[in-house]
């Protein structure tokens, strides 16, 4: 083999990637590693649905990127392929009101969207339950990122409607899986007592992956996604180490592998080096932030921009700047602050201000330039 450096460089029509789709967040692995206990608990809760009965309800909790959504998707795929159970996963970041959740259920059950206006919730609800009873189907609903329903004060009404469906329409059988990445949110405690009395869920905790587990999972993905020899053990260990530093969030590690591969290609290299990983980490470590910012409304985005420009100032002073850009009142302003605080984009701690009493100090949890760059 020639030692000429040119022979070790990528050609224009070559790539380090075998299958780049493997590094997409929604790609489902053929083997779901290090989650056997959680999968068994979920299967136990859903087994009654296979027999035509209402399944047990479930709360699946854990930090971001620990396999909660993947577990639900794998089980739902199995149920759809092997049984008559109807499954619907609702992304509550996108559908964060009761009406939006039931509109998503309607679309999945009827295979077309409900009218955009002119249909009441009561009619929407009755058409869904009528269809379930008519087809004698059991429905399992996964409310993914259910914490967003709590942020919008919609969780109790949404769950009440789902869990009491059999009372409104005899024969309707619906089970609910609530998936939450907000470890500070006590789902049960945050619900109305009328919902607590009927929810009574099984609880499944998805603990953060350890570094060895991360390396094992990402190693399999690297084998599938990269050509042979592109990622060596030293590089993989560094990716696993940086991923563990970000709370064991696999989404960081997956994004880090993809960006490191792209960096290697920019150098026309046939292999990923540690330097490619280090450079990629400056962007991959903000995977959480990018995802959360993308889901904000225009007014929420506007407030983040104002806080970035007035980082560390009191809420009253920031409202003055915010009100110049929007027509929103202080009540809505306070609601947005609470949501941004719950999303961990900002800290909104109360402090004593001389002559003004207690006031909230608004501080970004990320570098201001990194936030503004991703808005």
68 labelled ligand-binding: yes
243 labelled ligand-binding: no
31 labelled ligand-binding: no
160 labelled ligand-binding: no
209 labelled ligand-binding: yes
Going by C-alpha positions, the residue among 105, 70, 102 that lies closest to residue 181 is 70
Asked if residue 124 lies in contact with residue 165, where contact means CB atoms within 8 angstroms, the answer is no
CA distances from 58 to 93, 118, 325, 333 (A): 19, 34, 42, 34
List beta partners, residue 362: 348
Angle at which helix 250-266 crosses helix 211-225, to 10 degrees, equals 40
CB atoms within 10 A of CB 182: 20
148 labelled ligand-binding: no
What is the rounded CA–CA span in Å between residue 215 and residue 33? 11
122 labelled ligand-binding: no
3-state secondary structure the chain: CCCCHHHHECCCCCCCECCHHHHCCCCCCCCCCCCHHHHHHHHHHHHHHHCCCCCCCEEEECCCCCCHHHHHHHHHHHHHHHCCCEEEEEECCCCCCHHHHHHHHHHHHHCCCCCCCCCCHHHHHHHHHHHHHHHCCEEEEEEECCHHHHHCCCHHHHHHHHHCHHHHCCCCEEEEEEEECCCCCCHHHHCCHHHHHHHCCEEEECCCCCHHHHHHHHHHHHHHHECCCCCCHHHHHHHHHHHHHCCCCHHHHHHHHHHHHHHHHHCCECCCCHHHHHHHHHHHCCHHHHHHHHCCCHHHHHHHHHHHHCCCCEHHHHHHHHHHHCCCCHHHHHHHHHHHHHCCCEEEEEEEECCCEEEEEEEECCCHHHHHHHC
Phi, psi of 194 (to 5 degrees): -65, -30
Residue ranges at the known binding site for ATP: 66-70, 209, 221
Residue ranges at the known binding site: 66-70, 209, 221
């Amino acid at each position: 083999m020639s030692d000429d450096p040119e022979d070790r460089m990528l050609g224009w029509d070559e790539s380090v990637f075998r299958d780049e789709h493997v590094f997409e967040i929604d790609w489902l692995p053929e083997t779901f590693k290090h989650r056997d206990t959680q999968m068994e608990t979920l299967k136990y809760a859903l087994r009654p649905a296979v027999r035509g009965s209402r399944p047990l309800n479930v709360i699946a909790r854990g930090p971001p990127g620990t396999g909660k959504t993947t577990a639900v998707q794998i089980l739902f795929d199995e149920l759809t392929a092997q049984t008559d159970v109807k499954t619907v996963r609702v992304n509550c970041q996108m559908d964060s009101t009761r009406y939006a959740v039931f509109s998503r259920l309607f679309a999945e059950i009827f295979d077309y969207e409900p009218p955009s206006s002119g249909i009441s919730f009561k009619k929407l609800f009755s058409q869904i339950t009528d269809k379930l009873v008519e087809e004698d189907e059991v429905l399992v609903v996964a409310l993914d990122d259910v914490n967003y329903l709590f942020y919008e004060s919609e969780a109790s009404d949404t769950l009440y409607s789902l869990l009491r469906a059999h009372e409104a329409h005899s024969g309707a059988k619906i089970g609910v899986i609530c998936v939450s990445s907000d470890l500070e949110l006590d789902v049960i405690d945050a619900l109305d007592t009328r919902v607590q009395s009927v929810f009574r869920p099984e609880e499944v905790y998805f603990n953060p992956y350890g570094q060895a587990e991360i390396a094992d999972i990402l190693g399999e993905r690297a084998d599938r996604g990269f050509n042979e020899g592109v990622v060596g053990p030293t590089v993989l260990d560094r990716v696993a180490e940086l991923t563990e530093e970000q709370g064991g969030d696999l989404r960081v590690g997956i994004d880090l592998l993809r960006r490191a591969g792209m960096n290697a290609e920019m150098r026309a290299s046939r292999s990923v080096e540690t330097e490619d990983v280090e450079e990629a980490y400056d962007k991959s470590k903000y995977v959480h932030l990018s995802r959360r910012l993308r889901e904000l409304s225009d007014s929420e985005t506007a407030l983040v921009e104002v806080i970035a420009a007035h980082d560390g100032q009191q809420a009253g002073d920031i409202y003055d700047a915010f009100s110049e850009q929007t027509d929103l009142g202080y009540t809505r302003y306070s609601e947005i602050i609470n949501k941004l605080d719950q999303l961990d984009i900002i800290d909104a701690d109360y402090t004593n201000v001389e002559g003004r009493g207690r006031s909230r100090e608004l501080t970004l949890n990320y570098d201001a330039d990194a936030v503004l760059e991703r808005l």
